[in-house]
Each structure stands twice: as structure tokens, then as C-alpha cells.
Chain A
Amino acid sequence: MAQMKFMCDAERCIECNGCVTACKNANEVEWGVQRRRVVTLNDGEASEVSISVACMHCDDAPCMAVCPTDCFYKTDDGIVLHDKDLCIGCGYCLYACPFGAPQFLKQSAFGERGKMDKCTFCAGGPADSKEEEYEKYGANRIAEGKLPLCAEMCSTKALLAGDAQTVADIFRQRVVHRGHKDGAWSEVNRQGPDTAAAMDHLAYDATRQG
């Protein structure tokens, strides 16, 4: 069975927010809820880096572990979904989530938050009909054999979605092509003795595709 994962290649993300828009459009989520966000670190500095974040469908999901109603479940594809009929809007999943994925329509007195909403990996959720499913959880592209729209529409293919093994393979290939030891989410080792060689490789790779 596939283990579905997202992975954002921070060195490719150009902060275009296309994923955010694609998600919003695919799932028609309610006003005020934005299932995916783009975070930029050191904006405007030389070390600026952006990354797209949503539910990462954790193997050992903290939201599942703390939910008082036990409304979360994992599909066979490793996608973390939740049942809005069971959700009481207590907010615990939000306290626990490392990625700030769970969102609530409101934050009113007496803990009135409404039902939690989060990224479903475009896999919908529990419902009696397709219409109800779309209404409550958004698109079920997985059922149609498609991947999440955010990743599908990513213009630089920074955001990857799919089986963990495949995603890892693609990313590994990129790292190899980039030609430096820690070419993933880190800087090139500019100080080392191999700097010149690394630069050469990098320039060479850039002319092909990396």
C-alpha cells in the first residue's frame, strides 16, 4: 500500500502561492479557511527561503493522539482524515499539530469554534453521498486516481505529492543533480576544499535539468 506524503523542496519554491489558490479552488473551502499556506523565512534577505505547508499526514499523527472524540482516522494510503460529525471543535488538534494544519471557522466565547477543517490530501472524507462529501471535505481526487491539486499545479514542482517512495526518489535525484553533499534543505558547503568542484557541478547541472 502506498504511503501518501507531501514534500516541499524549499530550494524550488518561489512563493507564488499557486498551491494555496489551487487548493482553495479544488476544495471550495469556507471563507476564512486556507488549508495550505506558504511560509517565507528571512523575506527580502539573501537567505530568503519559502516553503508550502499543510497537513503532512503524519505517520504518528499528534492530532489523532489527542483528539477527545477520536474523530481522526488513517486511510489505507496513509492519509489522515477526520469525521466532521464527531468533531466538537475543542481545538486540541491545533494545539498538537506541528504544522498549524487544523483550522476553525471561528474562535468565539465558550470555545465555540465550529468543525475543524484541514487538508485531506484531496481525499474527501466520510459522507453518505458525493455531494455531501464535497460540501463537507472538498474534492476527492484520490478516488478519481488523481493527486492533490496543489502539487499538480505547482509551477516549479517544488511541492511534490504521492507515494512516499516515489517522492523520495524524485527528491533524491534532484539532490544528486544539484551536486553538493547537503543539497536538499541546506546551503552549499562554500568553505570546503571542494567548493570549486561543487560550483562547477552546479553550473553544469543548471544547464541541464535539476
Chain B
Amino acid sequence: MSKQKRTMTLTGWLAIMLMMVMSLGFASQAMAQSADPERELTTSVGAATPDTWRQVRSGETGPNFRDSRAESTYNLINASGESWRQIRNRWVSPFGLIAIGGMLGLITLFYLIFGRKELDEPRTGRKLLRWTLLERSLHWTVATLFIVLALTGLNLLFGKFVFRGLLGDAFWGAMISGTKILHNYLGPIFGVLLVILLAKLFWHNIPRKHDLTWFKKGGGLIGKGHADAGFANAGEKGWYWLLATAGIAVIASGLVLDFPNYGQGRDTMQWANVIHAVGALGLTAVALGHIYIGTVGTEGSLEGMATGYVDECWAKEHHNLWYEEVKDKTVSAEEAGRSGLDDEPAPQRTS
């Protein structure tokens, strides 16, 4: 009895379900016949207009822009990325290489044609204090950091074309990783020290009228005799102001790149990178000139930055106006040698 009842119930259910399924089929068929084009148009088709895609291309994001990624600040298409790539790879990289290579070539050519700039007259043996211990320490620290940063920077830009194939992946991986760490951690130290050095040397580098004449005479290359120069000649002042402008720009843009924790966007980083690379490559090229003139290019210059003292004769020839001011303050080579190691006791430099 109960079994029969259960069977009947089951059959009833099946019948109901069958009817429901069939009615669904009929219903969809009925809907198909009376599909309303208006309604389909509004429900089945997205209405992204050409304007929408133009807006996407421009990188704008309106108030109703959503990104499912957590804390995303991105737009849909980073259109400036390709511009940055082209600027960096097609312009900055090759022209940076041309600038640096060209500078090396020019310097070599200059050396071969003109040779080392010797002192015109024999040394007197009397010395003048030119750079204090603090200035020299700052200079050499900044110089060392500059060279490390320039080499690591060049490696970041060009290293992959040279070293990866040469040294193999394992070595290259370690090398480029170390490069990035050195560059990113030494950069800010360089920045701080360069600003201190610039402040320290500020009063020596204020442009004067005779600096124009110096430039006109090409620093003494054009015409006869040396051009007038105070403590710093116009060329040195030019290098100073290049560091005070382009150098600061390189440091500032470097800090923007080095501290992404402040949440600056990709566009900012792109510009910072271009400024950083252009400025740094330019400075590296000019620094080669500075290094040449300060070392093999001119007799007596390097000893000034090494010992602090320059020969009286060197001062007279290269910095005549400064020499006139300080010519009473000459010391013997022995005194200079002694105080060069100590913390400069006796002679006070005036400029």
C-alpha cells in the first residue's frame, strides 16, 4: 500500500517536472519569436564608444574608473611607457655613448696635438695653500663616489650588451645586482656630500667680469699668454655651476627614482629617469675633461688637490689674480710637506 503510494507520488513529481521543463522550452521559443531588438541592443552590447577608447589611450581616468587590483593607481593603458622607452633606448642611450666616447676621443686628440700643459717658468719651490684638508677630503670622497656611480650607471644602461655574453648569467646576475645596490645606496650619500662641497666652494665661484675674457681667450688657448683668473678660473666656475645645476637635477631625479616608497607614479618615474640619465651622461662626459685637466693635462694641478699646496709659479701662471692676493703667504716645501699631513696648523689661506 505504502509502496504503491510512494510510486504514485514519484510519478506525479516526474510529470510535474516534465511539464515544467517543457514549458520552459515553449517559453524560450515564444521569446525567440518576439525578441525585441531595442531591448537586445541595450542589454547585450557594451557601449564603449570610440571616445571611451580615446580616453583610455590618453591615460585619463574618470571618477567611475575601477581597477580590481588592490590599491592600484594605474590607468588602463600606460601610453607614456612606450614614449619613455623610445626616448631612453633611441635617444638617451646612443647619444650618451656618443657624448662620452666623443669626449674621450677629443681629449686623446687634444693630448696628442697639444700635449701636457707644462709650467712656463721653473718652479720657485715656494708653496701656497690652495685646498684645505676638509676640501680635499670632500673632493676626493665626492670624486670617488662620482666614479663609482658613473660606472654603475653606465653598467645599468649598457652593461647587458657587453658583460652578459662575456661573463655568463651567474656572474652577470651578481654583478648587475651589486651594481644596483651600490648605485642606489651610494647615490644619496653622493648627493649630500656634493651639496656640502658646493656650499663650501660657493664664494670662489661667483662669476666675475674677467671670466668673460677667459672664455674669449679659450682659457689661454687662443692668443698669447694666460687669461686672467682668480682663485677659480672661468672653466672651473663653469664646472662648478654645471654641478650646481645639472648635478642637482641629477641628484633630485635620482632621489625620486630611489625612493618609490613615497608612491610617485610611473609617469613621474619616467621623467625622472630621463632627466637623471641625460644629466648624468652629460656630467660624466664633462667630468672626463675635468679629470684630464686636473691630472695629466696640466702640470702642478693634481698636487694641489693631493697635498693641498701648489707651487708659487703654478699659482702665478694659472691664477694670477689669486696669486696677487696671497703671494705673501708662501711657505717652504718642508713646511708645506709637514702641514700637508697635519691638520694645517700655521698657514691660513685667504682667497
Interface string of B17-39 (1 = CB under 8 A from A): 00000000000000110011110
Q: List 16 A-B contacts (CB under 8 A).
A: A43-B64, A49-B47, A53-B76, A68-B156, A86-B169, A86-B176, A95-B81, A95-B84, A96-B82, A97-B78, A109-B259, A111-B257, A112-B184, A185-B53, A187-B45, A203-B40
Q: For B52, what are the chain A residues with a Cβ–Cβ distance below 8 Å?
A: 41-42, 47, 49
A105 at the interface (CB under 8 A from B): no
Q: For B44, what are the chain A residues with a Cβ–Cβ distance below 8 Å?
A: 11, 202, 206, 210
Tell me the bound Cα distance from A70 to B168 in angstroms. Answer: 12
A100 at the interface (CB under 8 A from B): yes
Interfacial residues of chain A within 9-30, with CB under 8 A of chain B in the complex? 10-11, 15, 17, 20
A153 at the interface (CB under 8 A from B): no
Find A98's partner among B38, B82, B259 (CB 8 Å cutoff): B82
How distant is A185 from chain B, measured CB to nearest CB, in Å? 6
- Of the stretches A32-40, A74-82, A144-152, A161-169, the one at the interface is A32-40
Given A70-B164, A90-B180, A65 contacting B36 (CB threshold 8 A): no
Q: For A128, what are the chain B residues with a Cβ–Cβ distance below 8 Å?
A: none
The number of chain B residues with a CB under 8 A from chain A is 65
B337 at the interface (CB under 8 A from A): no
Given A39-B65, A107-B263, A51 contacting B76 (CB threshold 8 A): yes
Given A95-B84, A107-B261, A203-B40, A43 contacting B65 (CB threshold 8 A): yes
**A107, closest chain B residue (CB):** B260
Find A37's partner among B41, B67, B82, B263 (CB 8 Å cutoff): B67
Find out whether the CB atom of A40 lies under 8 angstroms from the CB atom of B65. yes
Find out whether the CB atom of B49 lies under 8 angstroms from the CB atom of A187. yes
Find out whether the CB atom of B48 lies under 8 angstroms from the CB atom of A49. yes
Find B85's partner among A62, A86, A100 (CB 8 Å cutoff): A62
Interfacial residues of chain B within 151-181, with CB under 8 A of chain A in the complex? 155-157, 159-160, 164, 169, 172-173, 176-177, 179-180
B79 at the interface (CB under 8 A from A): yes
Find out whether the CB atom of A111 lies under 8 angstroms from the CB atom of B260. yes
B204 at the interface (CB under 8 A from A): no
Tell me the bound Cα distance from A31 to B160 in angstroms. Answer: 31
Number of A-B contacts (CB under 8 A): 184
The number of chain A residues with a CB under 8 A from chain B is 67
Find out whether the CB atom of A66 lies under 8 angstroms from the CB atom of B89. yes
- Shortest beta-carbon contacts, A-B, top 5: A199-B37, A37-B69, A40-B66, A70-B160, A49-B48
Interfacial residues of chain B within 46-101, with CB under 8 A of chain A in the complex? 46-50, 52-53, 55-56, 62, 64-70, 72, 74, 76-79, 81-82, 84-85, 88-89
Given A42-B64, A70-B160, A97-B81, A88 contacting B177 (CB threshold 8 A): yes
Find A202's partner among B37, B78, B257, B266 (CB 8 Å cutoff): B37
How distant is A9 from chain B, measured CB to nearest CB, in Å? 9
Find A68's partner among B53, B68, B157, B269 (CB 8 Å cutoff): B157
Find out whether the CB atom of B47 lies under 8 angstroms from the CB atom of A86. no
How distant is A62 from chain B, measured CB to nearest CB, in Å? 5
B273 at the interface (CB under 8 A from A): yes
Given A43-B64, A199-B37, A10 contacting B48 (CB threshold 8 A): yes
Q: For A100, what are the chain B residues with a Cβ–Cβ distance below 8 Å?
A: 72, 74, 78
Given contacts A34-B69, A69-B173, A203-B37, 6 further A-B contacts (CB under 8 A): A32-B70, A47-B52, A69-B160, A98-B81, A111-B260, A200-B37
Q: For A48, what are the chain B residues with a Cβ–Cβ distance below 8 Å?
A: 46, 64
B258 at the interface (CB under 8 A from A): yes
Tell me the bound Cα distance from A48 to B36 in angstroms. Answer: 22
**B61, closest chain A residue (CB):** A41
Find out whether the CB atom of B156 lies under 8 angstroms from the CB atom of A90. yes
A129 at the interface (CB under 8 A from B): no
Tell me the bound Cα distance from A108 to B155 in angstroms. Answer: 23
**B69, closest chain A residue (CB):** A37
How distant is A29 from chain B, measured CB to nearest CB, in Å? 12
Q: For A45, what are the chain B residues with a Cβ–Cβ distance below 8 Å?
A: 64
Tell me the bound Cα distance from A23 to B172 in angstroms. Answer: 32
**A62, closest chain B residue (CB):** B85
Tell me the bound Cα distance from A149 to B106 in angstroms. Answer: 59
**A67, closest chain B residue (CB):** B160
Find out whether the CB atom of B261 lies under 8 angstroms from the CB atom of A186. no
B270 at the interface (CB under 8 A from A): yes
Tell me the bound Cα distance from A196 to B38 in angstroms. Answer: 10
Identify the interface centre among A39, A47, A196: most chain B CB within 10 Å of its CB: A39
How distant is A7 from chain B, measured CB to nearest CB, in Å? 15
